[in-house]
């Protein structure tokens, strides 16, 4: 099986969701670190792969795919013939897409933003905290009646997209204690064969 090259940044939750999904699928990968602090993601060579200048990007044979959620969909369609991670029915796909949109919106701009401000410096933002609260309330309601976000029976790429920044919410000083169903869901994802954790961020002095 050909190796998938992941243009990666270790502290990025977007990049982690791709590493995680490749591991769950049992796909061999080669990590190509991108030095974001040096601006490597804005170099002409990188922009040729992703004009938005963001990690992750994968190279799978002759295919180059950017954007973490697009990568999850690509990998599910190509490497999951059972179609459990990206289901076949229109309704099931719509339910997955709902959470992919949440991952790109309130998750990134809520818990993800709080984490960035804490790790890399910046004043707390009330809007990010409100988005995080509302998002985790919504997840708690969903997970109160369904083991996974888009399916009661098995995980989908919706769970992978939502996992990383939720799991590292504490990096942004956001406790998950008020949301027991969310914490149970995290444990279920972490128990999947092939799971790899989101790295802990170094503490700022």
Lookup: tokens for 192: 């999947």
Residue 203 phi/psi, 5-degree rounding, is: -80, 135
127-151 pLDDT, tens digit each:
999 999 999 999 999 999 999 999 8
- Spatial contact of 193 and 25, defined as CB atoms under 8 Å apart: no
Percent of the chain residues past pLDDT 90, beyond the cut? 90
CA–CA separation, 27 and 109 (whole Å): 30
Position 87 pLDDT exceeds 60: yes
| Average pLDDT value for residue range 69-79 | 97
**Phi/psi of residue 64, nearest 5 degrees:** -120, 125
pTM given for the model? 0.95
pLDDT digits (tens, 9 = 90+) for 13-44: 999 999 999 999 999 999 999 999 899 999 99
Ramachandran assignment for 12, one of left (phi > 0), alpha (psi -120 to 50 degrees), beta (any other): beta
DSSP lists the bridge partners of residue 5 as: 30, 59
Tell me how far apart the alpha carbons of residues 203 and 52 are, in angstroms, rounded to a whole number. Answer: 29
Asked whether the CA dihedral 59, 63, 65, 71 is positive or negative, the reply is: negative
């Amino acid at each position: 099986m050909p190796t998938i090259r992941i243009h990666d940044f270790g502290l990025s939750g977007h990049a982690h969701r791709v590493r995680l999904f490749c591991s769950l699928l049992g796909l061999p990968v080669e990590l190509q670190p991108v030095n974001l602090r040096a601006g490597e993601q804005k170099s002409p060579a990188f922009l040729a792969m992703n004009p938005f200048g963001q990690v992750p990007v994968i190279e799978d044979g002759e295919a180059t795919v950017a954007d973490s959620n697009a990568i999850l969909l690509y990998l599910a369609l190509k490497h999951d013939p059972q179609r459990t991670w990206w289901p076949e029915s229109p309704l099931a796909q719509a339910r997955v897409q709902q959470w992919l949109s949440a991952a790109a919106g309130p998750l990134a701009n809520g818990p993800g933003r709080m984490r960035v401000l804490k790790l890399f410096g910046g004043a707390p933002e009330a809007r990010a905290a409100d988005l995080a609260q509302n998002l985790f309330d919504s997840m708690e309601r969903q997970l109160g009646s369904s083991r996974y976000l888009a399916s009661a029976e098995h995980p989908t790429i919706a769970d992978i997209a939502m996992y990383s920044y939720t799991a590292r919410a504490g990096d942004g000083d956001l406790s998950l204690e008020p949301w027991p169903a969310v914490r149970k869901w995290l444990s279920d994802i972490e128990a999947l064969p092939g799971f790899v954790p989101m790295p802990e961020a170094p503490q700022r002095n």
